[in-house]
Amino acid sequence: MTFQLIRNVLLTVPVFALSFPAAALAVERMAGGKSVDVTEMVSGLDEPWSIAFLPDGGVLISEIDGRLLHLRDGKRIELRGVPRVWENGQGGLLDIMVPRDFEESREIFLSYAKPMRGGAGTALGVGRLIDGRIEGFRDLFVMSEESRRGQHFGSRIVEAADGTLYLTVGERGDRESAQDLSRANGTVLRINRDGTIPADNPFVDQANALPQIWSFGHRNPQGAALDLSGRLWVNEHGPQGGDEINRVIKGENYGWPLTTYGENYGGGRFAPPLLEGTAPPVHQWTPSIAPSGYAVYSGDLFPELAGAHLIGSLKFDYIAVMDPQTWEQTTWSWPETGRVRDIEIAPDGSIWFLSVMEGAAYSITPRP
């Protein structure tokens, strides 16, 4: 698809005026040498994980304890019909994805830690947003093997240009499983919106391989986004260094735990990412920044950021603005950027982020 067609697909949600809160106060901050307004849009959140925008001006925010909030016109409603979650460590209610056809389908996609007899596994499901409730929620994918470990769920959802869905899945602390094609651990999955498997997935005809797998050898990818050409990117946590940005390609092995820039807990280094048959990251951070959330700027308010990759840091409390040509980083660090969990581009072109430390959602706009 052409650049312009992909960009049009990404911008099909109607532009709207965000209408809350009435008394929001903008604070002037510097971002890469430019003055911006940082405005607290939503406060009082308890461990927020994901943010998504609705065409009517509403906003959805997930909290890890299982609450899904609908905010519009200054009102905050806790939606009913959300699946029961396993809140343990990094597990709980995780990502939200509003598809491009929401106005017709009313569908909302959620990823979460699904309670199972032996613990929990990453799951992806869908329901319809009707009158303050998620109606008819059903699972589209559930990990077949549960774990009592409260770590590495991954869980970002991306709608591809062709309408298929990508889901990132962490290796749940079982690092060798990321090289096992019979398991979902440490993978990016690709499924159709009804949960069926696309015929052109790379391992559909391979015996003993999970047919939903699109790529494997990931550790804990907590950010995912399409660029302006429709290509998929993820960021993922490394072990004591070696946090990565990866361009996700069909069928590729991204090396974990065979190879990484990070260092083993308890000492000892892994092989560097030059192992034959594995794809090295396009960028890595050592020391770790604990990346989470991923957006590629596609709006009109910041034309100088067109195509820039924006990634949150849970460890160093900033937003990394990355030039995808050089991977040079500009850092936006303010009192508001405490443990940035998610970043999204609003339909009006403003940049929104979730701060776990502040329990709030903020918008960033150019200062007049």
Task: Note the pLDDT of residue 55.
Answer: 96
How is residue 93 written in tokens? 């209610």
Cα gap 71→78, rounded to integer Å: 9
Confidence of residue 271 (pLDDT cuts 50, 70, 90): confident
Instruction: Assign 19 to helix, strand or coil.
Output: coil
- pLDDT of residue 29 exceeding 50: yes
The CATH number that applies at residue 134 is 2.120.10.30
Which tokens sit at 148?
């009592």
If you average pLDDT over residues 253-272, what whole number do you get? 88
Query: Which residues, 6+ apart, have CB-to-CB distance to 146 below 8 Å?
Result: 116, 117, 118, 119, 120, 121
Instruction: Region of 92 please: left (phi>0), alpha (psi -120 to 50) or beta.
Output: left
pLDDT digits (tens, 9 = 90+) for 213-230: 999 999 999 999 999 999
pLDDT attached to residue 56: 94
- Residue 297 pLDDT level (bands cut at 50, 70, 90): very high
Q: Domain range holding 85?
A: 3-11+20-366
Query: Can you give the pLDDT at residue 154?
Result: 97
State the average pLDDT over residues 20-47: 88
pLDDT at 16: 38
Nearest by Cα to 295 from 355, 244, 360, 341: 341
Look at residue 275 and tell me whether its pLDDT is greater than 70: yes
- Predicted confidence band of residue 4 (pLDDT cuts 50, 70, 90): very low
DSSP 34-76: EEEEEEEEE---SSEEEEEE-TTS-EEEEETTS-EEEEETTEE
* Catalytic residue numbers, as ranges: 152
Residues 131-154 have pLDDT tens digits of: 999 999 999 999 998 899 999 999
Minimum mean pLDDT range among 11-20, 89-98, 148-157: 11-20
In this predicted model, which residue has the larger pLDDT, 365 or 16? Answer: 365
Tokens of 320: 């990394």
Tens of pLDDT, residues 185-218: 999 999 999 999 999 999 999 999 999 999 999 9
Least confident of 72-81, 261-270, 310-319, 354-363: 261-270
Residues 6+ positions from 267 with CB-CB distance below 8 Å? none
Once rounded to an integer, what is the mean pLDDT over residues 1-26?
A: 45
CA torsion sign, 296 to 347 to 123 to 314?
Answer: positive
Classify 346 as helix, strand or coil. coil
| pLDDT at position 190 | 99
Q: What is the largest CA-CA distance in the chain?
A: 59
**Dihedral sign, CA of 180, 185, 189, 194?**
positive
User: What's the whole-number mean pLDDT along residues 28-43?
Assistant: 96
Render pLDDT for 43-68 as a digit per residue (tens, 0 to 9): 999 999 999 999 999 999 999 999 99
Q: Which residues contact 197 (CB under 8 A, 6 or more apart)?
A: 191, 204, 211, 212
Position 73 scores a pLDDT of 86
Supply the pLDDT for residue 17: 41
CA distance 61 to 20: 14
Number of domains in the chain: 1
pLDDT of residue 23: 54
Give me the DSSP letters along 269-338: BPBPS--TTSPPPSEEESS---EEEEEE---SS-GGGTT-EEEEETTTTEEEEE-TTT--EEEE--TT-S
Q: Which of 186-195, 259-268, 321-330, 341-350 has the lowest mean pLDDT?
A: 259-268
